[in-house]
Structure 1
Amino acid sequence: MKRLCFRHGLVLPVLLAAGILLSGCFHSGGVIDPPSQASGESRTSQNTGRQLTFGIIYPMVNATYEMVTEKAEAAAEDNNIQLLVQAPDEANLEQQIRFMELMIKRGVDGIAIAPVDPKALVSVINKAVSHGIPVVCFESDSPDSNRDAYIGADNRKTGTVIGQTVDRLLGGKGMILVGSGMPHMLGYGERLKGLQDYLAKHTEIDVLEIRHNDGNEDYSALQLEQMITDHPHFSALVNLDFVSSSSSVLVWKAKGLTRYNIALGFTPSLTQALDNGQITRIISQNEQNWGADIINTLLLRSSGIESPERIDTNITIIGESPLPTDRDHHG
């Protein structure tokens, strides 16, 4: 199977090898404009075995999203689905809007997007839906849009779980630094709010500084290094996004740090960093399940079959035993 990356605004299809199309209960969700001739597919009915085309739009290129793509490719191949994957090198609202417009023009059968700005993308998400194209958001939501479903964990609860994890590590006292991604991305704001609310209510832990990386790995590393320089007596670093998490591993290696480092997102590289001591805990939203959930949800929606509006992928802590049902709070 040939796999192509989407960068610098280029729109290139990932054409998956044909599998066996799901039969019987799946049917077309309506007639929309045909795709460009480049696809080579006509929109015939389900029982003639036409191939569906789904698009996935990421905020930026990142190892976690590469894992999601691999899982989505496997699920798509099983169902004879052509997959279009697009991601700018760095987080970019204008690029996400352009990717959406191109997919609408092509007439894809479904779109999954992790929106970098939930409000700015409402109109183009609604435009896709008005053209008969199901849209699902994943990782971060656009709740004011007409999107069909949201796939991912509860981000406010994720922030709370991160707060509980830091609480246990520091015994309810200490000073932390926080790295996050794009300030307008709803999921990141919800994680930060969940973290701050928990710490304020249940601990004496102080947040010394919060910095945003805007989805840029080089900038993220510089931001983390600057925070560490400005606050050398910090007790722990908390990362609320994938970019900060991966950048923190490089900073920990370069500086030989032994402070607590809490990462977000499950990838083999972060797991290796956990084994090597650069990461203390990983908070995962079970990202390894997003790809299959995206394909399955779009397959149902594009076939006119109802599916849950919210698919909660839950939260897993890697590096310690699961959270108890009831815990004692400090103070």
Structure 2
Amino acid sequence: MAVTLNRRLMLAALTGASALALSMGTAYAADYRIAAVVQSLDTEFNVLWANAANAHPLVKDGSVELTILDGRMDPLNQSNQFDTAINEKYDAIIFVPVDINAGNDPVQRARDAGVPVIGSNTLISDTSLYTAYISSNDVAAGEILAKSVVDRMGGKGNVVIVEGMIGQSAQVQRLEGIQKALAAYPDVKVIETRTANWSRAESLTLVENWLTSHGGDIQGIIAENDEMAIGSLEAVKAYGLDPANVPVAGVDGVTDALLAVQRGEMMSTLQDADAQAQGAIDLALAAAEGEGYAPKAAVWDVNGGTLAWDNGKGTQYSVPWVPVTAENVEALLALREAK
């Protein structure tokens, strides 16, 4: 069935599987129904992802009914949401998993039921279960993180690593990249590594404790996302240290991180939520509609973007990272404010 235009938007941003059938807006039938099972709607990047998904042209005009489900950082909750999406006969599921291994079983159940699953952002360990997936290379992100901090340190000194939630693909792969990069710097020593669960508040407390224990022996802080980098930066400043002397780096390009880069206080690499979310919707529609679907999001090469659509037949799509610099941060902030 071809996707048609000019239908009213129906959107449900729901928190539990039992509420999946509810929606907001006028009850016109959409041509396709997609469930997006996401990690959480409590962090800025995930909200940016959800907002980008809602802004997809076919979601905005009502041709596609998008139901966004908040997994609340709970793999069991996400598993239950999968079961409901399957039972409600959604045409496709987009999955941003909480846990790299726990996500395999629900994707397998969807596959067995004939429901295509598109991975986005974080991934499951058995990516062969996906119909396709679109993400950014988190090993590369870890390498960028570590190198940016160590280069500011002059290639020697002590660093601490603030990890994300243990068991998520981003945590696993970014740590792999960090360790890979640090292996090239024999004069750099890792003196502490611990999770702060992607949380700014947890990172603040963790780094405060490390500074109390190690003081000036910490010369750099590698945080696996921007929220934790910002918490680390707050701890550094509260301890009375100059951020110029204790480089901090994160990943995602959330607004506060962009502002901190603008002030010259930290480093960040932007993760393109628009490409990951809207690209996933196009891939879900290609899987549901079959041959001949033309992508509608502006992220693809056919629309002036940088990703190769490959007729929607690829299984793996890699969204490039965007290093945030003094030269481009103003433009990135302007884009953020315009959304």
For the superposition of Structure 1 and Structure 2, which TM-score range results when normalised by the shorter chain?
0.7 to 0.9
In the alignment, what sits opposite 2:194? Answer: 211
Structure 2 partner of 1:83: 66
Answer yes or no: is 1:240 the counterpart of 2:248.
Answer: no
Q: Deviations for 1:131-158, whole angstroms, at most 9, x for unmatched residues?
A: 2211112222224251112211111122
- Is 2:214 the partner of 1:231? yes
Unpaired segments ≥5 residues, structure 1: 19-38, 42-49, 323-331
Q: 1:192 aligns with which of 175, 178, 182?
A: 175
| Alignment match, 2:44 | 63
2:324 counterpart residue number: 318
After TM superposition, the structure 1 stretch with the greater mean CA deviation from structure 2, 191-200 or 281-290, is 281-290
3-state DSSP of counterpart to 2:253: coil
**Which of 45, 49, 53 lines up with 1:72 in the alignment?**
53
Pick from 234, 252, 261: which aligns with 1:265?
Answer: 252
| Superposed counterparts of 1:1-331, under 5 Å | 5-7=13-15, 11=19, 41=29, 50-60=30-40, 61-75=42-56, 76-78=59-61, 80-89=63-72, 91-144=73-126, 146-233=129-216, 234-248=218-232, 250-252=234-236, 254-255=238-239, 257=241, 258=243, 259-278=246-265, 280-305=266-291, 306-319=312-325
Structure 2 unaligned runs (5+)? Answer: 1-8, 292-311, 329-339
- Shift in Å at residue 16 of structure 1? 7.8
Q: TM-score, with normalisation over the residues of structure 1? A: 0.78
Aligned residue number for residue 32 of structure 1: none
Per-residue deviation, 1:261:
1.3
Q: Is the 8 A contact 2:123 2:169 kept in 1?
A: yes
- Taking the aligned partners of 1:120 and 1:299, their CA distance within structure 2 comes to 25
Distance across 1 between alignment mates of 2:124 and 2:74: 16
SS of residue in 2 equivalent to 1:201:
coil
RMSD: 2.8
Q: Output the CA distance in 2 between the equivalents of 1:297 and 1:260.
A: 39
CA drift at 1:318: 0.6
Residue correspondences, number: 292
Instruction: Confirm or deny: 8 A CA contact 1:137 1:151 kept in the other structure.
Output: yes
Q: Post-superposition, which runs of at least 4 consecutive aligned residues in structure 1 deviate over 3 A? A: 1-18, 214-221, 245-257
CA distance in 2, matches of 1:162, 1:17: 42
Give the structure 1 partner of residue 298 of structure 2.
none
Q: Report the AA paired with residue 230 of structure 1.
A: S
What is the rounded CA distance, in whole Å, between the counterparts of 1:124 and 1:2 in structure 2? 25
Q: Percent identity?
A: 18
Give how far 1:252 is off: 5.0
Provide the rounded CA distance (Å) in 2 between the counterparts of 1:284 and 1:203: 28
**1:22 alignment partner in structure 2:** none
Tell me, what secondary structure is at the counterpart of 2:276?
A: helix
Measured at CA, do residues 260 and 184 of structure 1 come closer, stay the same or move farther in structure 2, by a change above 3 Å? same
Cα separation, 2, equivalents of 1:213 and 1:167: 21
